[in-house]
Structure 1
Amino acid sequence: MPLDAARALAAAPRETRIAWTPKDVLLYHLGIGAGRAATEPAELRYVLEDRLRVLPSFVTVAGDGGVAGEGAGLDAPGVDVDLTAVLHGAQRIALHRPLPPAGEAARTSRIAAVYDKGKAAVLVLRTEAADGDGPLWTSDTQLYVRGEGGFGGERGPSPRLPAPAGAPAHVVDRGIREDQALLYRLSGDWNPLHADPDFAALAGFDRPILHGLCSYGMALKAAVDTVLDGDAGRVRSYAARFAGVVYPGETLRIRMWPEQGESAGPAGPAGGGRIRLTASAVERDEAPVLADTVVEFA
């Protein structure tokens, strides 16, 4: 069997040095749809270097775009699988402090768990980054590998959460450009599933799909802008399950349920809390895109 769970779990962590600049952050923000409208003051904080605030989901591409992307962990010992069988199942990031617009860090990654789902396996890649001032972030990437289950391993936990109660406090729509995936991939996730129609057909799609982490970033930006008044530094963690695909050219509808109530004033819910969130594809009868999604904030 191409997947050797025991060998993957026993492998030594991979350590690398990474660096990023404001140009990398600006490109990432443009890749998730920032800068529309181009003269809107709220958007300029994402696209002008003299006032740049870093959206926490940037950690998924910081350095090279591969470690937390959909190809993450596929070069680890014991992992030899067909890329067309791999889907990004879920993503969680935890921020230890706000991200600087430029920096260098030591990054350590390892396969933290391998779960047996019967017809598929789930790999959990854990990545930790720290600079001279201490820990920066921890990221858990879950990769769903079709056809690699049935090896007798643990099934693992379920990420499913109860549905949010009541009507959402906020509903926003975000249009996805036809070239959104082509722009987003410049941040480092080169999986041809998102650009090559022939490769997408091999994976069972009628055309290239948007990167899951692109919709992930778009949804977080909507939550930060709508509930936290654009203060990205308040985000402490962000987790989502990828419930379905979205295609370039479609519209992402994001529903938000802030918990602990909303305070008076522009700062959003006071005293910290969390935002429950869902995202769907409007043009396909609101097919689910993101589920079990939670933003925790200070």
Structure 2
Amino acid sequence: MPIDPRHLLSRSFPVIDHDYTLRDTQLYALGLGLGADPLDAGQLRYVYEGQDGTALRTMPTMANVLAYPGFWAREPDTGITWQKLLHAEQEIHLHAPLPASGRVRGATRITGLWDKGAGKGAFLQQTRDITDAATGQLLASVVQLSLLRGDGGFGDGGSEGAPPAPHAMPDGAPDQVCELATPAQLALIYRLSGDLNPLHADPSVAAAAGFSRPILHGMALMGVAAHAVLRTVLAYDATRFAGMRVRFTAPALPGDTLRTEMWVRGETVSLRTTAVERGVVVLNNARVSLR
């Protein structure tokens, strides 16, 4: 039965309050591989609070896990064939620095639904605004684009226009390249920040899905690419990190060496990430916006 586009576009979501601590912020950064060199002062900013407890900085991509509404597509009222849902793109906009600890509030809404046709699927876009629960200040907006492979052909009632076009990559050789090794247990660490999908931990679940081993979370992959930009272009100064958009092109595996190529053009860093040992492009048509 086709999904009801009018219902999805008007669907309400509960507002979520999320308390997090310095330890949560440190665990998130460790789940991206920061701290692999414990003598690197830049990495330590994100995993060590300092002797007075005020030195800790927050990885910008932590917005992805704050006040997350969960995998709501599985709920019966959506009509979505959730087993065929693919996470296509993720984008964050940072309106203010993320505190290293505090209480935030997340409000999610559906902001786009585009029919590709029967047998071709549909694109669904959801947006989550994250605010400081005490002051109401808007901290970040998180935009997720999903491909609903089993839900095309619903006809009228979707959004006008078309889904966002991929970020255009520059021609020529990259200006910067950064290789970051990922430990084999990275997904087991990252999942402790809230994404408990067994696909990233249980070998039997991964095998049933057609993978040789549990795969890395897409959001962890995005965070590793953000780390490459912070390390190579920004000298670990996250205050210049205004936003990021990525397109997922293939799964990464814990233990992959991830090579991120970067093209710096003014306030935009275009990037592509490859799993070196397997020669697979895992992120493409990606960008980081700078201040």
- Give the TM-score taking structure 2 as reference length: 0.89
Amino acid in structure 2 at the alignment position of 1:97: A
Give the direction of change, closer, same or farther, for the CA distance of 1:82–1:193 in structure 2 (3 Å limit).
farther
Matched, 1:296 2:289: yes
Q: Distance in 2 between matches of 1:93 and 1:219?
A: 14
Q: Distance in 2 between matches of 1:134 and 1:151?
A: 38
Q: Distance in 2 between matches of 1:156 and 1:23?
A: 41
1:21 counterpart residue number: 21
Q: How does 1:273-292 map to 2 (within 5 A)?
A: 273-285=267-279, 287-292=280-285
- Alignment root-mean-square deviation, CA: 2.0
What's the CA shift for 1:38? Answer: 1.4
Say how many residue pairs are matched: 280
Q: Distance in 2 between matches of 1:62 and 1:158?
A: 24
1:150 counterpart residue number: 153
Unaligned runs of 5+ in 2: none
Q: Distance in 2 between matches of 1:5 and 1:202?
A: 31
2:66 and 2:104 in contact (8 A); partners too: no
What's the CA shift for 1:120? Answer: 2.3
Matched, 1:56 2:60: yes
Q: Distance in 2 between matches of 1:230 and 1:274?
A: 16
Matched, 1:139 2:145: no
Give the direction of change, closer, same or farther, for the CA distance of 1:196–1:122 in structure 2 (3 Å limit).
farther
Q: Distance in 1 between matches of 2:75 and 2:111?
A: 12
What's the CA shift for 1:290? Answer: 0.9
Q: Write the deviation string for residues 115-151 of structure 1: whole angstroms up to 9, x where unpaired.
A: 2234223221110011205111111011223222222
Unaligned runs of 5+ in 1: 261-272
| Selected match of 1:226 from 232, 236, 255 | 232
Q: Distance in 2 between matches of 1:112 and 1:254?
A: 30
Matched, 1:128 2:129: yes
What's the CA shift for 1:165? Answer: 2.2
Amino acid in structure 1 at the alignment position of 2:46: Y
- Give the TM-score taking structure 1 as reference length: 0.87
1:270 counterpart residue number: none
2:2 and 2:153 in contact (8 A); partners too: no
Q: Distance in 2 between matches of 1:111 and 1:149?
A: 17
Amino acid in structure 1 at the alignment position of 2:94: L
Give the direction of change, closer, same or farther, for the CA distance of 1:110–1:279 in structure 2 (3 Å limit).
same
| Selected match of 2:173 from 157, 164, 167 | 167
Q: What SS is found at the alignment partner of 1:198?
A: helix
Using the aligned pairs only, state the percent identity: 39
2:8 counterpart residue number: 8
2:99 counterpart residue number: 100
Amino acid in structure 2 at the alignment position of 1:34: L
What's the CA shift for 1:85? Answer: 2.2
Amino acid in structure 1 at the alignment position of 2:98: L
Give the direction of change, closer, same or farther, for the CA distance of 1:20–1:84 in structure 2 (3 Å limit).
same
